[in-house]
Each structure stands twice: as structure tokens, then as C-alpha cells.
Amino acid sequence: MKVIGHRGAAGSAPENTLISFLKGLEYKVDGFEFDVQLSRDGEVVVCHDERVDRTSNGMGWIKDFTLQELKRLDFGSWFTQLSVYQEIPTLRELLDMFKTFNLELNVEIKSGLVQYPEIGEKVVNLLAEYGLLDNSIISSFDHQLLLDLKQHFPRVKTGILYDCAPIKPWLYAKFLNAQYLHPAWHFVSSELVVSSAVFGIGINTWTVNSSFAAHKVRTAHVARIITDYPQCFRKGANGEAIWLGL
Ligand code: G3P
Ligand code: MG
């Protein structure tokens, strides 16, 4: 059972910024989940929201800023009263930072409110350039995007994100030729894990931030736990991730 830092270590540092990922490394994560969008000039940038308002001192849509304009905003200081100025990272900057660590990466492509042209291809090409494609899972709530990506790049591993209770989602994952299902933790069960395994599909779940959630997904034996608090888990004798408390 792997422990994956959500947006870096979003419980301890401003999400999706370099200090959040450094915190995660300090907490010895097995890997990171992070979200990507495209700037106006087509750069892959790391940010959860389609707009910069919540996590920066700016206002507006990421798609309307050039990278240079985004780089002038502070994505750190909203998180605490201490000033922790942080630039928005590009995917390339993150991969530069990760290349010397043996990390699993879960790149979540944001596509919904805004549809970004060729974002999937850009992500795959960058991961391939850094030799990190085989260590990576590309996930999205946009399942058509994942299907198209898989058809163009059969080597890519895809994860189907969902936050509901579909019927036999392992059949859906098989239909989409995906390798993983990425349910919200509420929708994890032993039946989901066992039935998915029959079809060769693994279960990675989010965002596991409490004792209750951690117990539920551990007893179901999911493959990966995505959490804002990677420091709150330790590995048990069988490799399972045990919640230590906040
Ligand atoms: O990828 C897991 C999780 O991050 C999905 O939801 O909104 O936190 O990106 P969200
Ligand atoms: Mg995400």
C-alpha cells in the first residue's frame, strides 16, 4: 500500500507549490498526486483550480495568463499568516525536482470547466522526456480525455477518477482500457478491490485524511492512499499504511 502526497503535502504547506512537494519528500512519501492546467501560451502548470483566485494573490482564469504573468503571482502566502512566497510550478520544474528521487507520480489532468487543447499529449511528452512515464499514472474526471490518450499512447497508465457509486466500475474501467480506478474513499469496498483485481485493475483512493477513512480503505486493501497528511501514516509489517493520528 503506497502513500501518495496529495497536491504535495497539502495539509502542511500551500498546495501544489515547491515547498509542498519538499514537505512531502521530508515525510518520505511513495509518490505525489498533483493537478495540471495550461497557461495561455500553452505551458503545463501545476494548480488545482481553473482560476488563480483561491490560492494566489491574483484573479482570473489560468487559461488567460501567460506563464510569465502567472509567475508574478504569489501562490504561497494565502496558506499561513507567515509570508511564504511561492511561484506556480510548471510540470517541467517539478519533473526536474523529482528526477533524482524514485517517486510514483499521479498527474491529474484538469479538464471540465476549461478544455485545454492537447494537454494530454503535452503531459505524456514531458513525462517521456524525463523517463518518468512508467512511474506515472495519468488521472482525470474527464474520461473521454483518458480514453483518447490511451488510444494515442498505449503505454500510458490511466486512472478513472470518480466521486459517486457506479455499478460494476471495473467493467467501465476495462471498457476504457484503464489500469486504475480512482474513487473518493467513501466509495471503496472490499468487493470493489477484489472484483477490479480480477480484471487487472488497481484501486487508488483519495483524499484519506482521517482515522475512519484510513481504516476503511486499509481493510479493503487498496493499492494507493492519496492524502494531504502523509506524515500521519506509517507502514505496517505487511506494507499496509496505518494511520497514526493528526
Ligand atoms: O486525484 C485525486 C483528487 O485530487 C481528485 O480531486 O479535486 O482534489 O483534484 P481534486
Ligand atoms: Mg487532484
Task: Give the three cell numbers for residue 41.
Answer: 501560451
Spacing, Cα 131 to ligand 1 middle (Å): 24
* Given 48, 152, 215, 221, the catalytic residue: 48
Ligand nearest to the CA of 50: 1
Rounded average pLDDT over 137-143: 98
Provide CB contacts within 8 A for 31, sequence distance 6+: 2, 4, 5, 103, 104, 105, 106, 135, 224
pLDDT at 81 over 90: no
Rounded average pLDDT over 179-199: 98
Dist CA 119 CA 111 (whole Å) = 9
pLDDT at 202 over 80: yes
Cβ distance 199 to 174 under 8 Å?
Answer: yes
Closest approach atom of ligand 1 to CA 35: 9
Report whether residue 108 contacts ligand 1, using a CB cutoff of 6 Å.
yes
> CA nearest 61: which of 53, 152, 166, 181?
53
Atom 2, ligand 1: residue with shortest CA distance? 206
Spacing, Cα 49 to ligand 1 middle (Å): 10
Residue 215 annotated in active site: no
Backbone angles phi, psi at 185, to 5 degrees: -60, -30
Report whether residue 226 contacts ligand 1, using a CB cutoff of 6 Å.
yes
Rounded average pLDDT over 81-85: 78
Ordered structural domains, the chain, with CATH: 2-243 (3.20.20.190)
Rounded average pLDDT over 203-227: 98
DSSP state of 88: P
Residue 6 annotated in active site: yes
Report whether residue 35 contacts ligand 1, using a CB cutoff of 6 Å.
yes
Provide CB contacts within 8 A for 79, sequence distance 6+: 13, 14, 15
Using only the alpha carbons of the chain, give its radius of gyration: 17
Q: What pLDDT score does 246 carry?
A: 86
Owner of C-alpha cell 471503496: 188
Buried b (16+ CB within 10 A) or exposed e, 128-143: eebebbeebbbbbbbb
pLDDT by residue (tens digit) across 95-105? Answer: 999 999 999 99
Q: How do strand 136-140 and strand 233-235 relate by DSSP bridges?
A: unpaired
Q: What pLDDT score does 197 carry?
A: 98
pLDDT at 82 over 90: no
The amino acid present at 35, given as its one-letter code, is D
Give whole-number Cα distances, 186 to 25, 91, 197, 205, 214, in Å. 27, 30, 19, 9, 11
Spacing, Cα 7 to ligand 2 middle (Å): 7
Spacing, Cα 81 to ligand 1 middle (Å): 25
Indicate the range of 31-35, 162-166, 183-187, 235-239 predicted with least confidence: 235-239
pLDDT at 135 over 90: yes
* Given 6, 152, 186, 215, the catalytic residue: 6
